[in-house]
Amino acid sequence: MINVSNLSVRLSGKTVVQDVRFTAKAGALTAICGPNGSGKTTIMKAISGEIAYQGSVRLNASEIGSLQAWQLAEMRGVLPQASAISFPFTVREIVRMGLTSGRNNHPEQADRIAAEALSSVDLAGFEGRFYQELSGGEQQRVQLARVLCQISEPVVDGRPCWLLLDEPVSSLDISHQLTIMTFARQFCRRGGGVIAVMHDLNLTALFADQMVLLKSGRLQAAGAVGDVLTDRHLQDVFGCALRVNRVPIDGIPFVLAHSALTD
């Protein structure tokens, strides 16, 4: 479980996250949604142990601030919103960076884990390509494969492992969006936990179990997707009159931008 309570973060003297609280359970996919600048990435950095915060963030019952870097690396993998790489690394080299930071550093396992990670993101055969010569979506999937090398199993020694993914599908075509979100859901179904920042409300409705909705650094709502994804919450948070509908066959919510068009 990841338990966030009274989380506040100040950056450059400004409070950008204030009193946020929610719980993400292993076995469930939790989506964090909200407008640009609402604090999603800042919260992910706090949960990842990358920035100082006030309040409490507990990862599998341990306060993040009390964990060593190697302990964090064994328990959670982090896909940042943006990853700049300025050296001419190959895909193989970048993906294997994940192997050195996690527990998957046994040489006999390394090849298998790296190959499985690349296959999971549909990049089998890309090992020898230079990262900088890949498309934006391919680069995003390489970064995800690096995370999957670090956290290759959803449960280790009876404890859940976590994927913390900041906009994992923002550069991907619809087919690869489905591939990655399906993978994330499977990771949860096998006992792991996923927290993903999402802008796509329809993918969120389709794949997430829980939804955390932010506005201006504060929590607007948190809970089951069907309870959070409402006309009123969307109006309050995004300031436009979006209408939530449901797919007749299965009742899954969806939101069309058309509903908020004013002319």
Using CB under 5 A as the binding rule, the residues of this chain from 44 to 83 that contact Mg ion are 81
Q: Which residue is nearest to ligand ATP (CB)?
A: 41
Kindly tell me which residue out of 3, 60, 71, 81 binds ligand ATP, with binding defined by CB under 6 A: 81
Residue with tokens 């550093």: 105
65 touching ligand ATP, by CB under 6 A: no
Distance CA 45, CA 146 (A): 18
H-helix or E-strand containing 191? none
> Which of the choices ligand ATP, Mg ion, none does residue 14 contact, using the CB cut-off of 5 to 8 A by kind?
ligand ATP
40 touching ligand ATP, by CB under 6 A: yes
Binding-site size for ligand ATP (CB under 6 A) equals: 13
Nearest to 95 by CA among 144, 168, 167, 161: 144
Distance CA 66, CA 130 (A): 38
SS3 content of the chain, % helix, strand, coil (to 5): 40, 30, 35
Distance CA 221, CA 259 (A): 22
Distance CA 261, CA 175 (A): 27
Kindly tell me which residue out of 22, 28, 42, 205 binds ligand ATP, with binding defined by CB under 6 A: 42
Kindly tell me which residue out of 15, 41, 60, 171 binds Mg ion, with binding defined by CB under 5 A: 41
User: For ligand ATP, which stretch binds (CB under 6 A), given 34-42, 98-106, 130-138, 140-148?
Assistant: 34-42
Tell me if 170 sits within 8 A of 134, measured CB to CB.
no
Nearest approach, Cβ of residue 47 and ligand ATP (Å) = 12
Kindly tell me which residue out of 37, 65, 88, 223 binds ligand ATP, with binding defined by CB under 6 A: 37
Residues making contact with ligand ATP (CB under 6 A): 11-12, 14, 16, 34, 36-42, 81
